[in-house]
Amino acid sequence: MPTIRAQGRTLTCHPGENLRRVLLREGVDLYNGTARQINCRGIGTCGTCAVALQGERSDRNWKETGRLSLPPHHLHNNRRLACQIRVHDDLDLTKYDGFWGQGDRPLWTPEA
């Protein structure tokens, strides 16, 4: 089973599970500020579930590429949308500041 390290916790999930669903189920603080209430609920249009990740991951689909191509996101900053990722291998996640998680200051890391 893949492991996910996020917000100082180590989580496990079944291969192929949706990353956003795993994080929310396990109580990880995925959204910043009012994005907890104002988000697209996982359809890939708002961009508020953006996280930086290390580890093997699926390629971006067209929804994720489209959303991360628009401000305030950039395709070059190593952010991915948790709602569009299927977990197949171990991942280490970092969440950044800003409404969409687009900032430069980490709010949480794999370790804490």
Query: What radius of gyration, in Å, describes the C-alpha atoms of the chain?
Result: 12
Residue whose structure tokens are 């180590």: 10
Nearest to 41 by CA among 74, 18, 73, 69: 18
Strands 91-96, 3-6: parallel, antiparallel or unpaired by DSSP? Answer: parallel
d(CA 69, CA 109): 24
Beta-strand pair 50-54/3-6: unpaired
DSSP symbol at 71: T
Q: Looking at residues 67-91, what average pLDDT do you find?
A: 94
**CA–CA distance, 92 with 9 (Å, rounded to integer):** 10
Task: State pTM to two decimals.
Answer: 0.95
How much of the chain exceeds pLDDT 70, in percent?
Answer: 100
Quick one: average pLDDT of 57-78? 92
Residue 56 has pLDDT above 90, yes or no: no
pLDDT per residue as tens digits for the range 27-48:
999 999 999 999 999 999 999 9
Phi, psi angle pair for 20, to nearest 5°: -60, -45
Quote the pLDDT of residue 78: 87
13 in Cβ contact with 2 (< 8 Å): yes
